[in-house]
Chains A and B, each alone.
Chain A
């Protein structure tokens, strides 16, 4: 009987997952700077910006919240948009819970770091033990990186002053298209994106700021209810 090759030993596989998790954390942390800067440009204080990253901790929802505020939308529409964007985290929790089997305070903490990145790295692993390593290292790594860089970004944003002069309003546009881009893989996704964009543009001249984005979520509801065509059951 020979020993298994090095790549197959549990320690090195574990280290590979940790490396993957940390690289995701570093990459995600980089856009914490843009969030911090955009948030203070939208009119939130440094501490409100820091609180969003500590307590809300879901990038898409945070960008959406400050985007609606920057566009002049009400607090209600900002909270509603942020919350609708966070619905997917509930389904992530369902998937992660099966792998994690966390109880007590670990479950309370796991829920807080259940986001796109931690779920993606966690569920991508071939066995539950590695899934747990990937979920926790990515979730906690992104949490640390995101919060540190949010604070830096808020300081940068305050130092820059007028957000338009440095194109920070355009940075928000770019952040949203970059968050959307990887989700456009299927024809159905692209149809929903175009439909939602059309709804928002049609409503914008006639409704209060914030309303067009919320109304555009109807595109997802309608598409979800339509019978599937070719993909089968």
Chain B
């Protein structure tokens, strides 16, 4: 699949889901089980993305490196209630700094 196909398919699917909320009869989308799953789905996906990006090497093995240290810094920044951009910049700076001195 080309990169443009990926971009356009994902955009089309995202819009279809957004529009569905406006045009699909409400009773089909409501109900306790569905609404819980929908609420928990982004949590599961984001948690998985965090650990994959922090601990999985390009070859698929598990590693502890500069990205893992950056995750630790990001968590500390979040505990200190830092805004999103500060969390991201602090993590990037941590990894860049460690690599500059030859770690990770």
Q: Residues on A close to B: CB < 8 A?
A: 27, 30-31, 33-34, 43-45, 48, 51-52, 55-58, 60-61, 63-65, 67, 69, 71-72, 74-76, 78-79, 81-97, 102, 107-108, 110-112, 114, 164-181, 183-184, 188-189, 192-197, 199-201, 204-207, 209, 212-213, 216-221, 223-225, 228
Contacts and interface: CB of A to CB of B under 8 A. Distances in A.
A111 B22 contact: yes
A224 B48 contact: no
Nearest to B69: A170
Instruction: Classify chain B's interface size.
Output: 35 or more
Interface in B1-23: 1-11, 13-15, 17-22
A88 to B, nearest CB: 5
Contact of B47 (A58, A78, A81, A216): A216
A209 B60 contact: yes
B21 A111 contact: yes
Secondary structure at the A interface, as helix, strand, loop or mixed, is helix
Contact of A56 (B10, B50, B55): B10
Given A75-B5, A167-B91, A212-B52, A61 B19 contact: no
Interface of B: 1-11, 13-15, 17-22, 24, 26, 29-30, 32-56, 58, 60-62, 66-67, 70-71, 73-75, 77-78, 83-85, 87-97, 99
B33 A192 contact: no
Contacts of B73: 174
B40 A56 contact: no
Contacts of B3: 43-45, 48, 69, 75
Residue among A34, A81, A170 facing the most chain B CB atoms (10 A cut-off): A170
Given A90-B18, A204-B60, A173 B54 contact: yes
A221 B17 CA distance: 18
A60 B48 contact: no
Contacts of A93: 18-22
Given A165-B99, A193-B44, A112 B15 contact: yes
Given A74-B1, A216-B44, A170 B38 contact: no
Given A82-B14, A94-B26, A177-B75, A220 B67 contact: no
Contacts of B95: 164, 167, 169-171
Given A97-B22, A167-B93, A177-B71, A75 B84 contact: no
